[in-house]
Amino acid sequence: MSGRKPYKSDLSDERWALIEPVITAWKARHPSVSGHEGRYEMREIVNALLYQSRTGCQWDYLPHDLPPSGAVKYYFYKWRDDGTDQVIHDLLRWQVREKKGRPADPSLVALDTQSLHAAAGVPAKTTGRDAAKKVPGRKRGLAVDVLGLVIAVVVLAASAHDNAAGAALLDKVAAETDTVQKALVDQGFKNTVVAHGEQVGIAVEVVERNPADTGFTPQPKRWVVEQTNGILMLHRRLVRDYEHRPATAESRVYWAISDVMARRLTGSSTSWRGA
């Protein structure tokens, strides 16, 4: 860290060790034309990404003792476009599942969507208004396993029906793994999603709400996706959608959950609510 005072979001040596091999291999595959190794440590680039995820700051407001925004942007977008962010995420997810005595990939997922306000400057062509929730912005869809770990994420205009998000999530889940046999959804998803599940080989079960329940009542097994949404809200960059491209918003989810999983694997924690 070049002698600077650490931030709470910084990677510990143990957490950096979990992802360093992926970053080092990436660097080896992408040498500069001049052969220069680069001015900034890769660990510091990742620290800057995690700082922004946790605090929600704009690019130009990254602290001066972290690498400049131009350098951090370069790697963030490169890793978004070539899938390195998801490679890191998936490797950590497999390790968390193995630590819990589970196979690498799940057989059951739960799906849910969440509508988020879009920040000023987000292109109107990628946003819309959720008519039911009265939210102008984007809709984030998650597919998670029984541990609440993300299997797939999609980001659409908030005006998109849950059916569209559900179908897109099922497509991604089916493309990622051939082990998922069943998906649990709430009553916001309709028969269209059930039918789409049949097409990709995943049985979709609509979990009915008990009419006698009042207020928020966690539903068995499906509640884990609500928990994951709550964890994402502790990363302030994800509380509102600031990203010009939906793919960037999806990458932010992978980095946030990767941070959570790395902490679980190393037994480290932070005061999320107090910081």
**C-alpha count within 13 angstroms, C-beta hemisphere, residue 104:** 8
**CATH 2.40.100.10 assigned to 104-241:** no
Judge if pTM exceeds 0.95: no
Cα 33 → chain centroid: 33
Q: How far apart are CA 163 and CA 183, in angstroms?
A: 13
The gap between the terminal CA atoms of the chain, to the nearest Å, is 21
Q: Give per-residue pLDDT as tens, 227-259.
A: 999 999 999 999 999 999 999 999 999 999 999
Q: Please, which pLDDT band fits residue 190 given cuts at 50, 70 and 90?
A: confident
122-126, 139-143, 164-168, 218-222: lowest mean pLDDT where?
218-222
pLDDT for the residue 93: 98
Taking the domains of the chain in order of start, what are their residue ranges?
104-241
CA distance 133 to 149: 26
Give the C-alpha separation, 153 to 164, whole Å: 13
Contacts of 48 (CB under 8 A, 6+ apart): 62, 66, 67, 72
Let me know if 175 is exposed, middle or buried by CB neighbors in 10 A (0-12, 13-18, 19+): exposed
Q: Tell me: pLDDT of 13 over 90.
A: yes
Residue 221, pLDDT score: 76
Q: What is the pLDDT of residues 78-100, one digit of tens each?
A: 999 999 999 999 999 999 999 99
